[in-house]
Amino acid sequence: MHDPRALLDLGADAVRRLARRGYTLDLSTLEDLVSRRSTTIQRANELRAESKRVAQEVQVTARRGGDVDGLKERARQIKDEIRGAESEQDRIDAGLRPLLLEVPNLPLDTVPDGDSEEFAVEVRRHGDTPAFSFEPKDHVDLGESLGIFDFARATKLSGPRFAAARGAGARLERGLAAFFLDLHTTRHDYTECSVPYLVTRETMTGTGQLPKFEEDLFKTGTGTRDLYLIPTAEVPLTNLHATEILDADTLPLAYTAHTPCFRSEAGSYGKDTRGLIRVHQFAKVEMVRICHPDQSRAELEKMVGHAETCLTELGLPYRVVTLAAGDLSFSAQVTYDIEVWLPGQGRYREVSSCSDCGTFQARRAGIRMRDKHGRRGLVATLNGSGLPIGRTLAAILENNQREDGSVVMPEALVPYLGFRVARPDGSVGT
């Protein structure tokens, strides 16, 4: 959420920057609400000061034996006027807060123009895409022929856009999660966390999923208590410090967690209906960093490097792109996507988004810092996938397939699996 005065100070520049991501800022409405709110607050403060003066006059006049009836009547009038001013402020806030909650983060000017993945700008590539002497299969055909995926029974259980793994497939999922967590905690200095998968409306609002994207979430509850299934561990990890004041000397903080993620995929009808690319439930290892705002860009580069290490250790070819302004997530001011090569599709597909949110989420969630001089300010928050289990598994299968239908596992993953090769007959080998 933005500071409304900061938006007004930026004025036309805020309008311009938000327009780059397809959002029209109604500056006149915002200015009217802020002005009315300031006037109402000032009026309420003046009335409180007058109330204090009148109360003192009542005491002085009473001690002198004077008539205090008129003063008491004025005191009652002032109290009514204060209540009226407070009610007016509540009405203005009821219009201002929803407006501000709907305004996305301001994209940096360094972010390219455009409104889709087609406008992303490539930063670098790593690794050679494999050359096959045969027509490569996609991960669905490979997984089913290996006997490690069962999409039909998953659909029977839960409907479309769900997946089930078994045998070597389930072991692959478990091994990948452990591999990523070990990498981040032992080499990248993240603290592993175990967090709730159900969170409150306030928690979802803190990181920007609510109120705008409620249709993208799964919601549950009992009685008067509504809870939301997390779409990513970014939500609970970032909000661990909601409403807190952190010691600036302890920053940056780095957290990682392996959780299921739940997404309704609203608006994606007909897209990626096959396989593991776009499902309602998937597992992911997430990275979150909390730092001083002046360090957020350097922290973003560091986080991207951590996600890239996951792929280089697995020997998977990938590229890094900068997303266009109109393709940024609601809370991000700049995002790098890391896209892994999928031979079955003949294209790069996003496997990690690493975003610098600046102070945007911190303002919404109330995460502040205090330096050694007692000065307070907002922190910056960053998040990134490090990595999703399903999409990474798909990339491993497709890039390491052999003509006989077997798949050779990346060497770094073998200690976590206990096998090197998965075969079409359902067996595994070392």
Annotated binding site for ATP: 263-265, 279-282, 350-353
**Binding annotation:** 232-234, 263-265, 279-282, 286, 350-353, 383, 385
Q: What are phi and psi of 107, to 5 degrees?
A: -70, 145
Q: Residue 254 burial (CB < 10 Å; 0-12/13-18/19+)?
A: buried
What own/partner pairs with CB < 8 Å and gap ≥ 24 does 4-12 have?
A: 4/30, 4/33, 4/34, 4/96, 4/100, 5/34, 7/103, 8/34, 10/106
Catalytic residue numbers? 263, 278, 350, 353, 391
CB 111 within 8 A of CB 328: yes
Encode burial over 23-53: b for 16+ CB neighbours within 10 A, e otherwise: bebebeebeebbebbeebeebbeebeebbee
CA angle 1/7/96 to nearest 5° reads: 55
Return the bridge partners of 429, or none. 421
Under DSSP, is residue 236 helix (H, G, I), strand (E, B) or coil? helix
Residue list for the binding site for L-serine: 232-234, 263, 286, 383, 385
Q: How far apart are CA 241 and CA 226, in angstroms?
A: 21
Buried b / exposed e across 153-170, counting CB within 10 Å, b at 16+?
Answer: ebeeeeeebbbbbeebbe
The span from the CA of 112 to the CA of 107, in Å, is 9
Distance CA 352, CA 300 (A): 13
